[in-house]
Structure 1
Amino acid sequence: MTETIHAYPMRKAEGCPFDPPPELGELQQQGPITKVRLWDGSTPWLVTRFAEQRALLRDPRLSADSTHPDFPRLVPIAPSASGTRLSFIGMDDPDHARLRRMVTAQFAIKRIEAMRPAVQRIVDEMIDDLLAGPQPVDLVEAFALPVPSRVICDLLGVPYADHGFFQDNSKVLINRAVTPEQRDGARLRLIEYLDALIGEKIKDPKDDLLSDLTTRIAAGELTRDEATQMGVLMLIAGHETTANMIALGTFALLEHPEELARLRETDDPELVAGAVNELLRYLNITHTGRIRMALEDIEIAGEVLCAGDGVILANDIGNRDPDAFPDPDRLDLGREARHHVAFGFGVHQCLGQPLARLELQVVYSTLYRRIPGLRLAAAPADIPLKHDGFVYGVYALPVTWQRNQSVA
């Protein structure tokens, strides 16, 4: 009897917008590692259990080098994009470590924490605009997307006036449904934009991250192309992922009113921080896994990953592993969930996670307190979901509230 090899990525079940595809749960029950089939017929390994994912994510025998000809791809790429990668997240050490070190200090926890008052001010200003505006309103366009866009623009030194340009191109770049040529066109437009901006910073540096990179260019530590690629990476990751977590997290909380009440009524920063971790674990906006390739044979869980094999570490189902998180399909804001793999693990763990956590803490502790009557203005089944993206979320989240149920 021939074993069935499932196609990957898999689609979530209708009516279950917050849960991983049911096939992933079935595969996890069968064992930690199995084969799946991609669009091009290749059959990489899929790792579904939490312990094996963490073990492999810290294993130097797994490569993140996306330029390798055997590296698995979830979508076809345009010929012009062959051999390209999005800065250090598509590299192995020592190049990965060298480039990552250039910006590590900017994302240090203490430095990010110092941004809390500024982030709070941005969030409050955006809520003021919500309260003064019409209803219903799309929370994505009016709040979830602008908040992290303004924050990352301030940090990088990117003019927020250009947000329409970089948001539109970022949406194309992370959409699996567009053509390879459309995706590569968006990549090239963002590269051209960041390169021009870095050119301006070279002539007239400011107190921002991109200007800091130009000093490294002048010192010969970094090429202009490397700085540009890093700028593109940080700009995209700095607004898209957090925006989706704000909107999807709000959707999930509105569908879990008892958990929303716990968050709305607390002034305990530890509970808020824990709630952010639990929402990250529960929702997993990075829903197409982390892609790697075995450089050497690796024996794990009774299987041998041969050199050259592709490997997909499905963090969405890994964070629903009952051996790591009891009753994993339940949203519990009091759960200890900080060891989740929503940000990855090992040397490639998300550099920007301190900033993402800070923004989510401020948003989740402010939005529902200031607008306690917030509710959906559409049926849950009618909320448009991003099944076709590398980053999961909602395309729109119509919400409304009673005017007398808000706090100025």
Structure 2
Amino acid sequence: MTESFPTSRPSGCPFDPAHEYAAFRHRDTPSKVSTPAGVDAYVVTRYDEVRTVLRDTRLSSRSAPSDHATPNADLDRVIESGSIIHNDGDAHKRLRRMLATEFAVKRMEAMRPRIVAMIEAQLDAMLARGGPVDLVQEFALPIPSLVICELLGVPYEDRDQFQERSALLVTVDGDPDEMMRVSGELNQYMVDLVLAKQAKRDDDLLSRLITRGEELGQPLSLPELVSVGITLLIAGHETTANMIALSTLALLRHPDQLAALRADPALATSAVEELLRYLSVVQFGLFRHVTDDLPVGAGTIEGGGFLIAALSAANRDESVFPDPDQLDLTRNDGAHVAFGFGPHQCLGQQLARVELEEVFSRLYTRIPTLRLAVDFDQIQYKNNTLVYGVTALPVTW
């Protein structure tokens, strides 16, 4: 039986994944669904099975990350050689090795003081302005945008250009012509930036990538540098910005958990992991081509088919996370898969952790009376985007 792929969250709790996932998870074989892209796929929902398939070389990521959620997506399009997201095998390993040093734990920790300064300055400005404010525009979006701009060497004054364009590019129901136009504009912006870095190196990630490739005798091509730059620019602020705002809303709805975090800011580290698990903002999972027959559970997905690794479902697997629908900032039951798993696991996860840890340890103590400025049922959610979040979060204090 083929069912419809779930694309909406339950009305009762906007933090929970689609309720169909719980039923899927208790079946012996992956559930077959029809997707908005117009193809059938098998949904893998159990924690152990999601981890297993995402590290299997019989999966191809050429339609990653979530093409299945886009109506009538072109799944046969030719992927440019420079894409770290869509490439497999040696092509992907080469790019990932080049980038690994940039996102090593030691380098991310070295950025922590600068990130703290950005957060404190943004909080100072917000407090001076006074409430109510939209936390998305005044805090959640600026922090990761500032960080990724500094990391990549992107002028922060260009933020409006890339924020608006990237917000459109992560929607699943945008006008195709508009999406193509915006994609072309963002591509040209990055081409100009990379060419400027090639002409004059600075102390930023793109400049270091150019130099590293030359020193290793494996210079990165212009398409590779442009693709890497766009990927990091979008992923570097969209996911973290949505996590900051949605996590704040979740904590305001769980005052006991927020009180515990305020009482002990050191709880921020475990709070980050639990909120990543609980919210799983990559809401439609990861889409993969199955290149050869792949056993999953009691069944087999035939080569040539498609698979969806449902991250949000795996992160609510009760066999790994007791009481998985409960938010518990002290939880230490297991490692979530909010950043994916396997060779394509998110490169920037350590940077995201540093940003979120510092936000969680500072925002709620600097503003201890933070509260919603509207009724909870007035909050609107990004149900049509690859990264889940809120469109705005009016707060006051």
| Residue equivalent to 2:25 | 28
Q: Per the alignment, do residues 387 and 53 of structure 1 end up closer, same or farther by CA in structure 2, a change over 3 Å counting?
A: same
Give 3-state SS (helix, strand or coil) of 1:90's partner.
Answer: coil
The superposition leaves residues 182-232 of structure 1 with CA deviations (integer Å, 9 ceiling, x where unpaired) of: 222222211110110011111111000011122256554210110000000
| Residue equivalent to 2:4 | 7
Give 3-state SS (helix, strand or coil) of 1:114's partner.
Answer: helix
Question: Aligned partners of 2:335, 2:189: CA distance in 1, in Å?
Answer: 37
| Residue equivalent to 2:248 | 250
| Residue equivalent to 1:124 | 120
Q: Per the alignment, do residues 161 and 257 of structure 1 end up closer, same or farther by CA in structure 2, a change over 3 Å counting?
A: same
- Once the two structures are superposed, the pairs formed by residues 94-243 of structure 1 within 5 Å of their partners are 94-216=90-212, 218=214, 219-243=217-241
| Residue equivalent to 2:372 | 376
Pick which of 215-224 and 141-150 moved more. 215-224
- Quote the offset at 1:171 in angstroms: 0.4
Pick which of 384-393 and 84-93 moved more. 84-93
- Quote the offset at 1:267 in angstroms: 3.8
Q: Percent identity of the aligned residues?
A: 46
| 8 A contact 2:265–2:362 mirrored in 1 | no
- Quote the offset at 1:398 in angstroms: 0.3
Question: Aligned partners of 1:79, 1:328: CA distance in 2, in Å?
Answer: 36
Q: Per the alignment, do residues 81 and 48 of structure 1 end up closer, same or farther by CA in structure 2, a change over 3 Å counting?
A: closer
**Pair 1:387 & 2:371 matched:** no
Q: Which of 46, 55, 59 matches 1:58?
A: 55
| 8 A contact 2:265–2:360 mirrored in 1 | no
Question: Aligned partners of 1:10, 1:267: CA distance in 2, in Å?
Answer: 35
Give 3-state SS (helix, strand or coil) of 2:85's partner.
Answer: helix
| Residue equivalent to 1:74 | 69
| Residue equivalent to 1:259 | 257
| Residue equivalent to 1:404 | none
- Quote the offset at 1:79 in angstroms: 7.3
Question: Aligned partners of 2:135, 2:111: CA distance in 1, in Å?
Answer: 23
Question: Aligned partners of 2:75, 2:38: CA distance in 1, in Å?
Answer: 22
Question: Aligned partners of 1:123, 1:175: CA distance in 2, in Å?
Answer: 28
**Pair 1:319 & 2:315 matched:** yes
Give 3-state SS (helix, strand or coil) of 2:300's partner.
Answer: strand
| Count of aligned positions | 393
Q: Note the aligned Cα RMSD (angstroms).
A: 1.9
The superposition leaves residues 117-144 of structure 1 with CA deviations (integer Å, 9 ceiling, x where unpaired) of: 1000000000001101142100000000
Question: Aligned partners of 2:116, 2:333: CA distance in 1, in Å?
Answer: 24
State the one-letter code of the partner of 1:23.
Answer: E
What TM-score, normalized to structure 2? 0.95
**Pair 1:83 & 2:78 matched:** yes
Question: Aligned partners of 2:203, 2:333: CA distance in 1, in Å?
Answer: 36
- Quote the offset at 1:40 in angstroms: 4.3
Q: Per the alignment, do residues 249 and 40 of structure 1 end up closer, same or farther by CA in structure 2, a change over 3 Å counting?
A: closer
Question: Aligned partners of 1:290, 1:356: CA distance in 2, in Å?
Answer: 19
